[in-house]
Amino acid sequence: MPSSKDSELPQVDPRWYQDGLRFDCTACGNCCRDHGEYTYVYVSDADLTKLSAELRISEDEFDSVHCDHEDGWRFLKRSGSQCVFLDEKGLCKVYEARPKQCSTWPFWKDNLVSLDVWSGPVKKCCPGINEGELTSADDAERIARETEDWYEGE
Ligand code: SF4
Ligand code: SF4
């Protein structure tokens, strides 16, 4: 039986991604650079705990050194036009502790709305879209739901 959460996800009948979605990260680092609406990397309290532990500093120090705040949201500082944790090789310096928003990309609710969005602006940002490993429709929705719950928990 569908849970109440199911109604919060994009419901297309039949789901355009019923047969699953392919995604394979090429480690290009593009999603960690500025590109319009995908610029901000939000940091939840849980993310803050993980990130500060990874860098072996206090949460307060991580917050003041690596984060900015706007409208009640906390997000990672930028270094020029990219995330402060993107290294010179295009890799994440805090990969194991990266924020939920980073670890659940590209299976976000807004990205699953339509094939046009998935294969359009999302693919344009992320060359790993439609490549490599197949993620089932159920798993894609589970990850999208996790991401929504993470936002709502803030
Ligand atoms: S843009 Fe896509 S392929 Fe490139 S690093 Fe990000 S997730 Fe990986
Ligand atoms: S935390 Fe890591 S994965 Fe997330 S945007 Fe920054 S460099 Fe990229």
* 84 token code pair: 């402060």
Q: Which pLDDT does position 152 carry in this prediction?
A: 73
What was the pLDDT predicted at 38?
A: 59
In single-letter form, the type of residue at position 80 comes to: G
CA distances from 31 to 14, 22, 25, 71, 82 (A): 29, 17, 10, 23, 9
81 CA distance to ligand 2 middle (Å): 13
Is there an atom of ligand 1 within 6 Å of 128 CB? yes
Q: Which residues of 108-129 are buried (b: 16+ CB within 10 A; e: fewer)?
A: bbebbeeeeebeebbbebbebb
Rg of the chain (C-alpha set):
16
- Strands 129-135 and 21-23 come out as antiparallel
If you ran DSSP here, which 8-state letter would residue 118 be given?
I
Which ligand gives the minimal distance to the CA of 94?
A: 2
- Cα of 86 to ligand 2 centre, how many Å? 6
Number of the ligand 1 atom closest to the C-alpha atom of 30: 1
In tens digits, the chain (154 residues) has pLDDT values of 334 445 566 555 568 999 999 999 999 999 998 765 556 899 999 999 999 999 999 999 999 999 999 999 999 999 888 999 999 998 999 999 999 999 999 999 999 999 999 999 999 999 999 999 999 999 999 999 998 888 776 6
Question: Residue 18's pLDDT is what?
Answer: 94
Kindly report the protein residue whose alpha carbon is nearest to atom 8 of ligand 1.
25
With a Cβ cut-off of 6 Å, ligand 2 is lined by 32, 41, 76, 83, 85-86, 92, 94, 98-99, 102
Domain ranges of the chain: 11-152
